[in-house]
Amino acid sequence: MKLVDTVDLLDAAKAHSLAALGVCVQPEELLQSLRPMRADAIAESSDEASAPDEFMNCKKAHEVKAMSEFVSCLARFCRVNQVIDVGSGKGYLCSYLSMKYNLQVYGIDSSSTNTHGALERNRKLKRFSKAYRKQRASGNPIIHSKEEDTHHNTKSDSSKNLEKREEEGSSIAPTESGDVSAPDNTDENPVDPSDADSGSSFLSFLDVTEHLSPRVHPSQLTQEEKEKRKKENLERKAREGRGSDGDGNLFSPLTSYVTAETELRALITELENAILVGLHTCGDLGPSSLRMFRARPELHAVCSVGCCYHLLSEEFNPEGSGCVGDACGFPMSQYLKDQACFCGRNARMSACLALERVSSGGGLPMESLFYRAVLHVILRDHYDSFKSEKRVGNVYSKATSFVDYVRRALRKLGLDENKLSDPEIQSYHDLYSPRMDEMVAFNMLKVTLAPCIEGLILLDRLCYLKEQENVSHSALVQLFDPVQSPRCYAVVGIKESCM
């Protein structure tokens, strides 16, 4: 195959990115276009809705602040007070939406561990809110303990590790990550997360380390696990009905695997008209949430930011994906379905890379990628199960050498590490290390093409919304700074009933 001129390739890739195609809008542009339709519903942004600079230094804080402000405007436009956050993880977005904007938020996640973590965070935030108000009323400055600062710095380091894993893409044959919930605005005068004094303290209680866990389909749960989830959800509803803490509840965590067929009213008996949101919905969860938005009349708007494109199922993938029709993550639009369009895993893996971050000096973890590539060769040569569904995970950060990395990976994959001696393992490293420059060039090519592939996936989702008769307004909105948050685009849709 003949390589085209490098300059022409770069120019073509840039021209086919979302930014160059001119199909995306800034949040302010979309809200401005909606304002004439309902002038009473969308107010101008006030100083209270902005956060101090130190609050923006954290990647997660940047995402949550920007998305919550935008979602609150959508809620006012649609005249709704309920928000459903699918794949809500540990409740960062839910916390901010409920505490700052007084919205009733339901966080739905497939991991009960995340649900319990969100409840604990809610308890801490309530305690912190009361202490903060007392200190502020007395005129005393907010003092942070060394223990709190150490806790916060530790989590910041963990966040960097998470971003590093995002840059790397995924491990060998990864499985889908989990999706839960959020603390509430329970006090009469709640802590303002955007206040200059309280911003960093607020973050110190929001554990910014994401723990990824597999999303387990209900069909794969044991009867005992199903009963446990049902009991937890019933207990949560009972606590809300009793008002056991004496405060108004704006936070409701739920444990459930979400698909397009999920009956929201069966999960949320108090459900009224609502907005569906998702901050970095993993794999097929993004497409499922858009299909749910189309099918459920109680959902008046959707704001979905996707991620983990490598986990998308594809209807027309020649290698097969195990999905059929509307259960598939790509393509969604009838336009691409008619063309039997598919990307393939390698292309979708490339879509997870971050061109802007690399361009700004972030670089790629080349040694980690090199270790993983050589490991794959070892698995191919010596183990029949090199396509195992098990994950290697972030073994590189713990390894002291390539040999140690391979042995750790083999143990994690459940393979016999004694099959190879240390010299045999090291010989693979020595054999392929002269080809490192080739790998660097190949990965830079993937980074260059990443915006094009991500653009195709997101435009397919936008096209899907535009094909729906009950969706009157849809757009791709750039919510985040792509250097801070590479997955920065939100697919936004508004039902005809809101106009």
Tell me the pLDDT tens digit for each residue of 452-470: 999 999 999 999 999 999 9
408-437 per-position pLDDT tens digit? 999 999 899 999 999 999 999 999 999 999
Does 267 have pLDDT greater than 70? Answer: yes
Number of domains within the chain: 1
CA–CA separation, 310 vs 134, rounded Å? 48
pLDDT mean over 154-158: 40
* Residue-level length of the chain: 499
Mean pLDDT lowest for which of 4-13, 66-75, 134-143, 183-192?
183-192
Residue 230 resides in a domain: yes
pLDDT mean over 138-144: 56
More confident residue, 37 or 133: 37
Q: For position 243, what pLDDT does the model report?
A: 41
Q: For position 93, what pLDDT does the model report?
A: 87
Long-range contacts (CB closer than 8 Å, 24 or more residues apart) made by 29-38: 30/475, 30/477, 30/492, 31/70, 31/73, 31/77, 34/77, 34/473, 34/494, 37/77, 37/499, 38/77
Residue 132 resides in a domain: yes
Q: How does residue 76 score in pLDDT terms, banded at 50, 70 and 90?
A: very high
- Cα dihedral sign, 106-109-113-118: negative
More confident residue, 169 or 375: 375
Maximum average pLDDT range among 212-221, 237-246, 321-330: 321-330
Mean pLDDT lowest for which of 104-108, 227-231, 292-296?
227-231
The fraction of the chain above a pLDDT of 70, given in percent, is: 66
More confident residue, 486 or 1: 486
CA–CA separation, 108 vs 87, rounded Å? 6
Q: For position 113, what pLDDT does the model report?
A: 74
Residue 366: CB partners within 8 Å, gap ≥ 6?
436, 439, 440, 443
Residue type (1 letter), 319: E
pLDDT mean over 98-110: 88
- Cα dihedral sign, 38-495-473-254: positive
Residue 309 is classified by DSSP as G
Average pLDDT, the chain: 77
Does 273 have pLDDT greater than 90? Answer: yes
Residue 54 resides in a domain: yes
Residue 420 resides in a domain: no
Residue 13 resides in a domain: no
Residue 424 resides in a domain: no
Domain extent, residue 191, equals 22-163+174-362+453-498
Q: Quickly list DSSP for 462-499.
A: HHHHHT-TTEEEEEEEE-S-TTT-S--EEEEEEEGGG-
More confident residue, 421 or 390: 421
Task: At 4, give phi and psi (nearest 5°).
Answer: -70, 170
Tokens of 209: 């380390």
pLDDT mean over 167-185: 33
Q: For position 249, what pLDDT does the model report?
A: 57
Does 404 have pLDDT greater than 90? Answer: yes
Pairing of strands 471-478, 489-495: antiparallel
Does 129 have pLDDT greater than 60? Answer: no
Q: For position 95, what pLDDT does the model report?
A: 80
Q: Is 434 helix (H, G, I), strand (E, B) or coil?
A: helix
Q: For position 152, what pLDDT does the model report?
A: 40
Task: At 478, give phi and psi (nearest 5°).
Answer: -85, 105
Does 242 have pLDDT greater than 80? Answer: no
Within 10 Å of residue 21's Cβ, how many Cβ atoms?
A: 14
4-29 per-position pLDDT tens digit? 788 898 899 999 999 899 999 999 99
**Burial classification of residue 261, based on how many CB atoms lie within 10 Å of its CB (0-12 exposed, 13-18 middle, 19 or more buried):** exposed
* pTM to 2 decimal places: 0.74
Q: Is 301 helix (H, G, I), strand (E, B) or coil?
A: strand
Residue 122 resides in a domain: yes
Residue 324 resides in a domain: yes
